[in-house]
Amino acid sequence: WNFPLAIFMGQVTAALVAGNAVLAKPAEQTSLIATYAAQLLQRAGVPGEVLHLLPGDGRVGARLVDDARISGVAFTGSIETAWSINRTLAARNGPIVPLIAETGGINAGVVDSTALPEQAIRDAIASSFQSAGQRCSALRVLYVQDDVADVLLTMLYGAMDELSLGNPWELSTDVGPVINEAAQQSIQAYVDKARAEGRLLKQLPAPAQGHFVGPAVIEVGGIEDVEQEVFGPVLAVLKAQDYDD
């Protein structure tokens, strides 16, 4: 789920190398991975009084950000939370507190008439639907030149039909569940809204057991129609007349 080891460790170790003591508050969904990572660092020699692990929900993070003893914040997560952190830090008296914020994005791909369609589909499937779309680097919007759109979308739907949804421990599985029930309901509600508006082009059926969302393709008129990052296996597509368009 969005590189829960690499992103967490990157921020923690960078701060340690720069000579700081670190209060590490992981995403509440990935506390077990963070706990094991902190244990490994301490076994490797990082002193316990230098690295502290503080798991919990957003209330823990809010208390940390508001504490005058915190001299810097590195954050990965939603843009709404980043704005909240920024406002809290700005309201504190004293020196300006550095904030490093890595937030969500609407990542776009462009396929024009010169592209090799097999390669474009392979990469779109991998980027949009692997990890059930739960990566900040996942493809969210696919621009397709109108000349090749029908062929490309037919290939996309066919490739989706070959995907296997199930237990990610099994090598045969292509798409696993999303992180929790709240994510499942939010993502599916977004897809259902597109369905009600006649913009759902395809969705695979999801297994009945577990927090699954079937990979979905929806139609949009432009990237401005994608008002938020949907952190799941949902790909928006739109047709363009030519590259400039």
Sheet architecture: strand order including 107-111: 107-111, 139-145, 234-240, 216-219, 200-203
Query: Contacts by 178-186 with C-beta closer than 8 Å and gap 24+?
Result: 178/132, 178/134, 178/211, 178/212, 178/213, 178/231, 178/232, 178/233, 179/1, 179/29, 179/134, 179/211, 180/29, 180/211, 181/211, 183/134, 183/211, 183/231, 183/232, 184/211, 184/212, 184/213
Task: Tell me if 37 sits within 8 A of 5, measured CB to CB.
Answer: yes
Task: Tell me if 55 sits within 8 A of 31, measured CB to CB.
Answer: yes
Up-side HSE of residue 241: CA atoms within 13 Å toward CB? 2
229 is catalytic: no
DSSP result, 14-81: HHHHTT--EEE---GGGHHHHHHHHHHHHHTT--TTTEEE---SHHHHHHHHT-TT---EEEES-HHH
Q: Catalytic one among 136, 181, 197, 224?
A: 136
Q: Catalytic one among 28, 49, 80, 102?
A: 102
Question: Mapping DSSP to helix (H, G, I), strand (E, B) and coil, where does residue 240 land?
Answer: strand
219 is catalytic: no
Active site residues: 102, 136
